[in-house]
Amino acid sequence: MNFIAFLLRRPFITITISLICVLAILDRNGFFRSPSRGDAAIHISQRPVTVQGWLRQLPEEKKQRTAFILQAQKLNDMRVSGRILVNYYGHYETVTAGDMVQVIGVLRSPPGASYPGGFDYAEYLQRQNIYSVMSATSVTRTGYVRLPFYLKIAYALRRDILAAIDKWLPPEEAAILAPMLIGDKTRLSAEEKQSFTDAGVMHILVVSGLNVGFVALLAVGFWRFLGLSRRYSSLLAIPCIIIYVLVTGANPPVVRAAVMALFVILSLTLSRRPDILQSLCMAAAAILAFNPQDLFTASFQLSFAATIGIVYLYPPLMSALKWAPRRIRKIAGGTIAVSLGAQLAVAPLIAFYFNKISVIGLLSNIVVVPLAGVITVSGMVLYAAHCVSPFLAGLAGAINYFLIHSLVILVHFFAQMPASAINIASPPLTVVVLYYISLAAILHLLPRDANQRETKADGPALKQKPLILIAAAVVCVIVGAGATIALRSPSSGEKICMVFLDSGSSEACHIRFPSGKNWLFIGGNSNPANVKTTLIPYLRSRGVRRIEKIFVTRLPATALKPLADDFNVAEIILPPGKKADISADNGTILRETRQGEHFSEGAATLQILSTGSARTKNKFLLMALDYGQNRILFAGNLNRSTAQELLKQGINLQSTILFTGLNTASTLTPQLCQALACQQLILPVRKNLPPHQLPPHKHRHSLPPRGSLTINIPPHSSTIE
């Protein structure tokens, strides 16, 4: 009854909870997963099409690519609707938001996850109501759409801010300041993003409440300087906040902060006490009213979770810090409480979406967050100086350079610390829900008033009660991590789990044994970048931290360094004559193998059948894994002539499962299939291998481009999942 009365007194909370429940049910039943009838995605084909429409927002310009969202109106003279993500390379006619354009190119469906638990690009775009992508060969401006005046102001201001940043800062520092001021991450390198993520401070590159608070304070201060009263100054700050939200792209974190700021300003203007929970629900309802699918994005969930964590965990944490030394409370008490509250609230979501738990995050945030606040203010000062005087802008640019350079040094220092972040498999949704229920229950046990004083009656009990939060939070993290590991770890049975991966121009296989140990097979003539874009993210998503053995066939050995740097790799096995540029500091053993060598793990045995053809000097590894009655043959780049040569030597090439490389698949004739006598055939499918050239086989399983296939192998039979 008390809960119902609480909801009736706060209508926005009731409306928001009801809206979230309805959207969750609709998404569960696939309501958002298909485009509407008139959407351009219905007409996807392999033929070039001509699409006419207009740009919904400013294009994103990267080094050699420009991307924009096109609101489609016509496709080959047919009336269509929906949004299309257009990418074009090279130099075409310059376009901007509001321009009417004609685009020629091939319309495609966006790619999904390339491995189990991987980033699903198709779902990511779907949450933005985008169901098709296009690689344009021609972009022509045909007119323009009249945009509202406030959008014109916002877009012009955004361009001017970026121009000022580029003018007064070097490219590296400009790439850091741009996302901190207006959320533009287009020039931020993948390495820098990874450093900020590993250091646990990626959130400072997202425009959020801190930025909105600074804008509100500067706006109020400006109007007060002109002689207006506090009340009118606060009201006139509202348009400034709205314009800033539009300048940053109106992403969920900044919209949430802006709505909360507007709610607080209006409450204070009307002499009413603001209700934080009500304002949070108003912000959520406002965001979901414009795009209901934002509810299912990591950005939306992380933003609101962090805010709720700060609001509700800050008081008890500060109460707990009362028993810390006074100097620590005075210097870093507030920062510690805010950082710890936010991290406790977002930890399961970060583990769920990004497969990481930041170990160094609390310490790095104590140092980095205050500096980030100073940089945000100094960046705003830089733009103001740019509008006033070149001399002042140059001085502000020098100060910003020093501050940003110091920030980067600190971030790299924390990111390179041993075990700064731990890779973890995505926890099940039930574990995430149980974590938040436990955290809410702990909060319920804490004193309602964190500032109440200890009395003789309650003495030690009250003194110890705030410490329950820290202890229980640690227990929550340990229990959550333990449950995740237990639920995601291999079963106690005898099955071997094998995941076959296609990473673009190479093939790989990850084997997880019943003991929990991991082996990795890598082959193909691969671009080393594929290791970073596919293999490493896949291994992180599975919670892999140690790899016992990596067997390399034809992959360039230099591509192995990222694997050895990111994971605890015990041993790398190379074909004869292969060299690897990997530092010995990480403890990895590198050695060449030989024909006939055996490797064992439990009941499984791996044999090196061949290290290449002696006649053609083609070096690769042909391996067979025996497990009970099953035999898995890793054919690598085996061709017909090499196979005949090995058969003459009396080498047994028969197998239960045959996993081929691209070269083997293209030369796998019916005669060779009969000689290999495999029961299950797994081979990659590429554009340069037409379907009519695929070898005939009763149990053929295709490994799609940039896709995966999972097999569980018990000792006595094999089953394809």
Are 478 and 504 in a shared domain?
no
Q: What are residue 624's DSSP bridge partners?
A: 607, 633
Strand 708-713 with 99-108, pairing: unpaired
pTM for the model:
0.76
Q: How far, rounded to the nearest angstrom, does the alpha carbon of residue 329 sit from its chain's CA centroid?
A: 35
CATH label of the domain that carries residue 84 = 2.40.50.140
Q: What range defines the domain where residue 316 resides?
A: 297-359+425-488
The pLDDT, as a whole number, for residue 491 is 45
Quickly tell me which residue has 């140059």 as its tokens.
394
Domain boundary among 145, 168, 197: 145
The pLDDT, as a whole number, for residue 208 is 79
Residue type, 353: Y
Are 502 and 484 in a shared domain?
no
Are 325 and 434 in a shared domain?
yes
Are 509 and 531 in a shared domain?
yes
Are 446 and 523 in a shared domain?
no
Domain total of the chain: 3
Counting as low any pLDDT under 70, the low residues of the chain are 1-9, 91-93, 116-117, 324, 327-332, 419, 446-493, 503-506, 524-530, 554-559, 577-586, 612-619, 636-640, 661-679, 681, 683-707, 716-721
What does the radius of gyration of the chain's CA atoms come to, in whole angstroms?
29
Pairwise CA distance, residues 341 & 276, whole Å? 16
Q: What is the dihedral of CA 115, 116, 120, 126, to 10 degrees?
A: 130
Provide the total of helices (H) and of strands (E) in the chain, helices listed first: 22, 24
Q: What is the dihedral of CA 213, 214, 218, 221, to 10 degrees?
A: 60
CA separation, residue 702 to residues 436, 661, 665, 699, 712 (Å): 41, 12, 11, 10, 17
Are 465 and 556 in a shared domain?
no
Domain boundary among 467, 488, 509: 488
Q: What is the pLDDT of residues 284-316, one digit of tens each?
A: 888 888 889 888 988 888 888 888 888 888 888
Residue 678 falls within a domain, yes or no? yes
Domain boundary among 463, 488, 513: 488
Are 455 and 544 in a shared domain?
no
Residue 70 falls within a domain, yes or no? yes
CA separation, residue 608 to residues 37, 134, 204 (Å): 55, 45, 50
Q: Which two tokens stand for residue 187?
A: 């020039």
Are 465 and 519 in a shared domain?
no
Q: Which two tokens stand for residue 443?
A: 């909060």
Do 178 and 162 touch, CB atoms closer than 8 A? yes
The pLDDT, as a whole number, for residue 396 is 92
The pLDDT, as a whole number, for residue 681 is 67
Pairwise CA distance, residues 683 & 704, whole Å? 9
The pLDDT, as a whole number, for residue 693 is 47
Are 472 and 517 in a shared domain?
no
The pLDDT, as a whole number, for residue 489 is 46
Residue 613 falls within a domain, yes or no? yes
Residue 242 falls within a domain, yes or no? no
CATH label of the domain that carries residue 563 = 3.60.15.10
Are 345 and 313 in a shared domain?
yes
Are 338 and 472 in a shared domain?
yes
Residue 534 falls within a domain, yes or no? yes
Q: What is the pLDDT of residues 644-667, one digit of tens each?
A: 777 777 777 777 777 776 555 555
For 488-603, strand residue ranges (E) read 496-502, 507-512, 518-523, 546-552, 568-574, 589-592, 598-601
The pLDDT, as a whole number, for residue 460 is 40
Which contacts (CB < 8 Å, 24+ apart) does range 615-623 have? 615/641, 615/645, 616/641, 616/642, 618/642, 619/554, 619/575, 619/576, 619/577, 619/578, 620/523, 620/553, 620/554, 620/575, 621/523, 621/551, 621/552, 621/553, 621/573, 621/575, 621/593, 622/646, 623/521, 623/551
Do 499 and 708 touch, CB atoms closer than 8 A? yes
Quickly tell me which residue has 């196979």 as its tokens.
643
Residue 445 falls within a domain, yes or no? yes
Tell me the average pLDDT of the chain. Answer: 78
Are 436 and 319 in a shared domain?
yes
The pLDDT, as a whole number, for residue 463 is 42
What φ, ψ does residue 670 adopt, rounded to 5°?
-55, -35
Closest CA to 678 of 634, 637, 619: 634
Rounded to 5°, angle at Cα 720 from 717 and 721: 125
Closest CA to 535 of 496, 569, 494, 504: 504
The pLDDT, as a whole number, for residue 454 is 40
Residue 186 falls within a domain, yes or no? no
Residue 51 falls within a domain, yes or no? yes
Q: What is the DSSP letter of 716?
A: S
